[in-house]
Amino acid sequence: MSTTEVTYHAKGIAFTDDAAIRVRDFLAAQGSDVETAGLRVGVRGGGCSGFQYQLAFDEQREGDVVFTDHGLKLLVDSQSLAYVDGSQIEYVESLQGAGFQVVNPNVVAACGCGSSFRVADEDEVSAV
């Protein structure tokens, strides 16, 4: 029986300038160490379009893929990487509130409220 090795070259994830300022301010207010803490960007099944983002301030864990932008860490678990790779994290203030938003080039459809999304072909992104 032969094995197949898949190599994945990540594009990365980045912050907008305003998002980086907000992350840095939050981590400083919490007394978190920017050497090990950052913004975790994950995906889980759910919502009317199939997937939902999970954003949280967290410490780096074993197995994380770590991107650094603006001197800050973006932490991604290996299963979520293909769904969010190439994304940009921005900070948005609107009538509905303020918070981080993922601008994701992999999304082909999103629900009306913007809380869930679908990617082009789940088989392609799950090959990581």
Strand partners, 37: 59
b/e map of 88-103 (b: 16 or more CB within 10 Å)? bbbbeeeeeeeebbbe
Distance CA(35)–CA(59), nearest Å, equals 9
The mean pLDDT of 91-106, rounded to a whole number, is 88
The mean pLDDT of 69-82, rounded to a whole number, is 93
Please name the fold of domain 14-125.
Hypothetical Protein Aq_1857; Chain: A; (2.60.300)
pLDDT over 50 at 98, yes or no: yes
- How much of the chain exceeds pLDDT 70, in percent? 73
pTM of the predicted model, to two decimals?
Answer: 0.77
More confident residue, 10 or 84: 84
pLDDT at site 124 = 45
